[in-house]
Every structure is written in C-alpha cells, then in structure tokens.
Structure 1
Amino acid sequence: MAPPSTSHKLTDTEIKNLCSKTINLGGCYKLLKSDPHTTNADARGLAEVLIDLASNKANKTHSLLNSFVNATHDSRLKNICKLCSSNYNDVIRDLKVVKNYLHSGAYRNIHVQVKDASEEIRQCKKVYGGASSHHAHIKKKNHEFEFLLGIVEVTLDKLNKN
C-alpha cells in the first residue's frame, strides 16, 4: 500500500460527515476510527485503505466460496457458490481497476467500476437468497462487503468533488 498523501488529514468531524452519507453512520465511524491506517490519512489515503480492506474481504469471500464449491455434493448449492464466486472474481478485478484509477488520479472513471462491483454483489445476494441457512455466513459476508463498498463509494465521491 502506498503511503497516504500529505495533503489535508481528515478531521474527526470530516469522518463523521463522510460516514453520515453511508447506510450505517456508527458502523462506518467505528471502522474508520479503529483502523490505524486511517489515523493520519487524507481523503485519497483513506480511499486507498478502504479499497485494500474491500479487496482483502473480497479475496477471502471468493476463497471461501471456492472451498464450498469443492466441498458440497448438492448440485444446486454448488451452482449458487460458483455463481457467487464468479461475481467476487469480477469484484476483485473491479477493485484492482479502481486502485489503478486512484493512483493515476482518474477519479471520475472510478465510479463506473465501483458501481460494477456493487452490481456483482447484488447479483450474488439474489442467487444466494434462496441458499440453505447452512451458508448464512455468506449472506452476512455479502452484506458486510456491500457496506464496506458503500464507504468506498462515499469516500471516492469526496475525492471527485475536491
């Protein structure tokens, strides 16, 4: 991860304002204040930290889905896991592109990729909606990832306006 730029460090008030634009102000604030990488970050540095967090979460969920594909003998559940695994593979690709755009300063191009990633997760949530409760933790991971992606989007909006 590249070090955050040395421009304006986000204040506590700015973080609260940023989080007020998400679906969960308290959860967003807690996440941002608990990560040591955000302590001295400016908006660009915060976006980079969040993209890294989202990428890590997407990679872990992708691996978990692939392990379910290999472990289950239920063809319906196997297909659901394959579809979601494919969605997360696309999300991982989208986040790599987002990070490249962030590094190049092409902030206006980022939103298409973030929206694509959000749509991939929505598709996974749809197909996983009917899956057994045995894999309810995947539904939870989808929800957590969607929340994190929302924070990424709000942070990138701030960069786009600066």
Structure 2
Amino acid sequence: MSAITFVASVAVLLVASVIIFPSDGVTEDILAAICSQTQNQETCEAILESDPRTSSADLPLLSLISLELTSKQADKNHNSFVQFRDNSTDPDLKKSLGNCVTHYNDMRGKIKVAHQLSHKRQYKRIFMNLAS
C-alpha cells in the first residue's frame, strides 16, 4: 500500500470515528482501535504519533492531524511525479507520469476540502467529497 493510500485510509477511519465516537481525548485504546482497521497498525500509530499534538488530541483534532499528514504526503508524492515526468525522455512514460500528476492534483484538492470540512466539523460531507 502506498504511503498516501495508507495515510488517506487512516484519515477516513478517523473521520468515521469522530462521527461514531465523539470524545474529549484520544486514548491509546482508541488510537489502537482506529489503527487496527488498517493493513499495518504499527505504521498507522507511528505516523499519527509522529505529530506531537496527537498525544493530547481529541478525535476532531486527530482528524485534522491525519488530514494534514495526508496532505504533506500527497504534496511530496506530487512533487516526485512532477520531477519524474519532467526528467523523462520516453514519451509513453512521460504521459503515464503526467496522469499521476493529474491524479495527485485532484487528490490534493479533495484533501484540502476535507480539511476545511473537518475544521467545520462537517464530517459526513467529507465522505461525499472523497467519493466524488
């Protein structure tokens, strides 16, 4: 699973958790429960715990943190694909990499909208945004 797919799936799980389990703080048990639904619980927890705000976050803040981490990874991946595309001399490869750049542009826009909706605590609308 790619890093962006992994982090995005965590973001979706967190948004779902905010809807289902509103809380005043994210305990280790809740973080473990969220991350246990991913393909690699340890990596999920490590990614989320890499942000110092996670240790004192409630679920709404954890949703924002996960979307910010997703955004950073999407930006890194986008920049890599732009460089690969720009440095490619093979026309077919250049076209394929251009498609990746386009998809990452679309994804970055959806992540930005999801982040704005999460700030407004409009979690159910995030699913509609990601599905479109």
Q: TM-score interval w.r.t. the shorter chain?
A: 0.7 to 0.9
Instruction: Work out whether 1:105 is the aligned partner of 2:97.
Output: no
Instruction: Work out whether 1:114 is the aligned partner of 2:112.
Output: no
Of residues 27, 34, 38, the one that matches 1:11 is 27
TM-score (norm 1): 0.63
Percent identity over the alignment is 30
AA aligned to 2:125 is: N
**Aligned-residue offset at 1:43:** 0.6
Residue by residue, what CA displacement relative to the aligned partner does 1:88-137 show, whole Å, maximum 9, x if unpaired? 00000001110111112211110122345xxxxxxxxxxxxxxxxxxxxx
Of residues 35, 54, 77, the one that matches 1:38 is 54
2:95 and 2:102 map into 1 onto residues whose CA distance is 11
Of residues 47, 54, 68, the one that matches 2:84 is 68
2:128 and 2:93 map into 1 onto residues whose CA distance is 31
1:33 and 1:96 map into 2 onto residues whose CA distance is 22
Q: Cα RMSD (Å) of the superposition?
A: 1.4
**Aligned-residue offset at 1:45:** 0.5
TM-score (norm 2): 0.77
2:34 and 2:25 map into 1 onto residues whose CA distance is 14
Q: Secondary structure at the match of 1:105?
A: coil
**Aligned-residue offset at 1:32:** 2.2
Q: For 1:130-145, list aligned pairs within 5 A.
A: none
**Aligned-residue offset at 1:71:** 0.8
Does structure 1 conserve the Cα–Cα contact (< 8 Å) formed by 2:51 and 2:65? Answer: no
Aligned to 1:50: 66
Aligned to 2:101: 85
| Structure 1 stretches of 4+ moved >3 Å | none
2:115 and 2:50 map into 1 onto residues whose CA distance is 22
- Give the count of matched residue pairs: 110
Gaps of 5+ in 2: 1-22
